Amino acid sequence: MPSEPLGPGMSALYGLLVAAGALTFGYLIASRLLGKRGDSAVLAWALALPCLVGYALILMIAHMATGGWLFPNGWFIRILTALIALILLVAKIRTRSSKADEQDTNPRLLWLGFGVVVVGLVLWSYPTLEVFPLHYAPDTRAHMGWAHQLLNGSPTPTAALSGEIPNFYPWLFHAFMALVSLFTPGGNPFHALVPVHFLLVAGVVLGLFALGREFARAPVSPIAAALFGALTGGFGFIVARGPEIVKSPRNEEVLEFWGDLLLVRSYNFAFSNMVPPFPRDLTFALLPVFLLLLIRGVRHGSKPYLVAAGAVLGGMGLAQGGEAFLVAALTAVIVILLTYRDGIPLRLASVLVPAIILYSLWAAPLMINYFRHGGFFDMSRSSLDFPLWSAIASWGIILPFGVYGLARALSQTRTNKALIVLGAFLLSGLTGLIGSVAIEVVLGDGFGPLSRRHRYWPILCLAIALFAAVGATDLFERVRRRRPIGAFFFVAVIVLLAIPSPLLASLAYPEEVTPPVVITESLQGETHTVLNELDTRRGAVCTVAAIGVSDEIFAFTGHRLVAIVLGNKLEDNQARVRWRDIYEVTESLETRFADTKALISGGENVSQWQRLVDKYDVDAVVVPATLIESPSFEGLAKVSAPWESKALYVVWIDECQK
């Protein structure tokens, strides 16, 4: 493969190959862990993504334990991964040849699951053929920068600013991005957005497919669960005149399209599959698998499955899913209390202890620093409270089928423990939505994200979607028994009402999202740019002084800046640091801005400029061509690196820390 993707089409092809290889690696891990407990290859494929995420988690723990050594040394991870894959593959072949693998999988069912995955990828992944990189909004820039910091050698993602600023954002998504980046041509987290998107879509479809098989053995049940959970949009397509997407959920277009067709913050769970992948999308991809493992745990009385459910629950928290973590944990508590008469404490511990231990890897240091740095600065925006009718319309056919499925399930809960889990999940989702109002009052402003109601609506949507699968399966079987040909038309009508909105949104995305040309060119290997010149120090922790391009530098390289300044204007907390009093511990924003201007101008004299370099441990300065003759830059390496129409130079002062 070439070192850089050649464009959106080739990037999509390479991304698909990387995603297929990564998912197969996850499947081999899952199959080995399941052993004789696994009764289906469908189950092993459903666990492929969680196992891959678990592998990233283990690497992240080792990365932190080694002080940030692991991810910059990608050769070690590649060799290790190849050896593990080889060992697992040989073990898999031997197990099959000895007929010790007692998997009871109908090959048709497995291929049917793969077919649904293909449908999901076709439905959600059209933008990967047209747009590169997939996204370039503030949130994406922050996450790409944090992922790149791991590749540069930071033990955990820190701030975009220089100095000792503790981690404040859950890091599992960034570890996952860093891992996939090491196997993606180009190696930049922006390159890895494509295979990660493919992995999340495939993962959530496979998880829902296996989950549908758990609560009904009818062949249509897995398809219905995947369809309603991952592929069904709302009714916005009825009023859309063609491909449409709502870029911001805070404008009037939301109601114009009945709460549907949202790029971000959708009330519909399925729209978490829209590009680009975000940390919460990883959480949502793990959520069906948590329910799947919980069902198997209570159905078979299996503590290993309960422990596995707890591990997935902890991973959800580490991937930035605080609200999903709370809802899922409450679900587990309700289910165990309802299904067991004795041994309740041990079974609760089986789920909650591994979840809390894993979540504490991030949450414990966070709370220590919370008290050390005066609490949190709430950077989240206010809740998105759409009218109820638009929320319902954004769910499309999910609600009517869900109501029917819930009515049918009520008579089966005594004999089907899977339906108890679905009911507990629905109750927990409602509790989370209602209780979100009180969270901010009890915990304070800094915990605002947990109180945002729009973060609970898609979880509730998933709960209704699973009951919609129950209802659709029941209706399909009734129609099939009476008129087999009618069952075909029944499925056709559901699909025609379910998929138009996701399809229209995917088709509209390339017209609405246009990344800056300089970013695209830099990612495609254009060497004479500020970004690629600074990225030559990939694998090292660098500090840069720049104005006007600082945010882009952090996103593309992960290097820390003396100050983050958007354009030439200083605004409050542009670096998005969450610690409330951090600017009392480190330099203030105003001081950093003034020092940055002095650093790029060369200062009033060389000695004063050098003191600023030492103060922030600056490794490079991005200097306008008009200032490059300053005496402070004499004798230093200077590289011409234009930025659009600006004539800029990168002045290297040091080699950065390795």
Containing 21, the helix (H) or strand (E) segment is helix 8-34
Phi-psi region of 343 (alpha: psi -120 to 50; beta: other; left: phi over 0): left
Spatial CA neighbour of 530 closest among 625, 450, 413: 625
Report the alpha-carbon distance of residue 347 to residue 339 in Å, rounded: 11
Residue 604 CB neighbour total at 10 angstroms: 10
Three-state SS for 560? strand
Instruction: Annotate 130-156 with b (16+ C-beta within 10 A) or e (fewer).
Output: bbbbbbbeeebbbbbbbbbbbbbbbbb
Largest CA distance in the chain: 90
**Which two three-digit tokens encode residue 65?**
């334990």
pLDDT in tens, 334-388: 999 999 888 899 999 999 999 999 999 999 999 999 898 888 876 666 667 888 8
- Adjacency order of strands within the sheet including 560-561: 560-561, 543-545, 620-624, 648-652, 637-640
Q: Give residues with Cβ within 8 angstroms of 482, minimum separation 6.
A: none
Kindly report the pTM of this predicted structure: 0.94
Determine the pLDDT at residue 49: 98
Spatial CA neighbour of 284 closest among 330, 311, 316, 313: 316
Task: State the Cα torsion 85-86-92-94 to the nearest 10°.
Answer: -170
Contact of 389 with 343, CB cutoff 8 Å:
no
**Which two three-digit tokens encode residue 13?**
């092809």
Burial of 525 (0-12, 13-18, 19+ CB in 10 A): middle
Determine the pLDDT at residue 301: 86
Report the alpha-carbon distance of residue 542 to residue 56 in Å, rounded: 24
Bridge partners, residue 543, by sequence: 560
Beta-strand pair 620-624/637-640: unpaired
Structural domain spans, the chain: 12-100+107-133+172-232+248-512, 519-652
Spatial CA neighbour of 554 closest among 11, 8, 15, 157: 157
Contact of 417 with 299, CB cutoff 8 Å:
yes
Determine the pLDDT at residue 100: 46
Report the alpha-carbon distance of residue 165 to residue 30 in Å, rounded: 37
Determine the pLDDT at residue 400: 96
**Which two three-digit tokens encode residue 611?**
């003191």
Q: Give residues with Cβ within 8 angstroms of 614, minimum separation 6.
A: none
Report the alpha-carbon distance of residue 144 to residue 169 in Å, rounded: 13
Determine the pLDDT at residue 78: 96
Spatial CA neighbour of 458 closest among 427, 433, 440: 433
E-strand ranges in 547-591 read 560-561
> Quick one: CA dihedral 25, 26, 27, 32, positive or negative?
positive
* Side chain identity at residue 645, one-letter code: S
- DSSP letter assigned to residue 161: B
Spatial CA neighbour of 188 closest among 139, 126, 134: 134
Contact of 259 with 150, CB cutoff 8 Å:
no
Instruction: For the chain of 658 residues, list the mean pLDDT of each consecutive stretch of 10.
Output: 69 95 97 78 95 98 96 96 96 70 67 95 96 87 94 94 91 98 94 97 97 88 96 95 88 85 93 94 97 94 94 95 92 94 92 97 93 79 79 95 94 82 95 78 60 86 97 93 88 95 96 85 82 87 90 92 71 74 83 92 88 93 92 90 86 86
